[in-house]
Amino acid sequence: MVDSEQEQYAVYSLLSDYMSKKSREVGHTITRDEVHQATGIDPSTLSRYRSPEPFKKIDVSIAMKLAEFFECEWWELFQKANS
């Protein structure tokens, strides 16, 4: 069934990794507030995306804003969680 299959799918956000990578590139720590200022994404949403907990749903508009900031494709910001 579709519903039970969908429940099996989850992804981890790689936002923390991308923030660390960009910090090394620019030579200073990229903070949640800096990402918020550049993207307009609510700080609480950014905190949730930095959480080690897997996601079952991705807000593509948020992912696209993050991808623009980190200069990557939106899907590169996520990794499939093992079931």
Q: Where are the beta strands (DSSP E) in the chain?
A: 11-13, 78-80
CA gap 36, 42 in Å, rounded: 6
Model pTM?
0.85
Reported in sequence order, the residue ranges of 41-83 that DSSP labels E, i.e. its strands, are: 78-80
pLDDT tens for each residue of the chain, 83 residues long: 444 554 578 999 999 999 999 999 999 999 999 999 999 999 999 999 999 999 889 999 999 999 999 999 999 999 998 75
Number of domains in the chain: 1
- The parent domain of residue 31 ranges over 2-80
CATH number for the domain including 56?
1.10.260.40
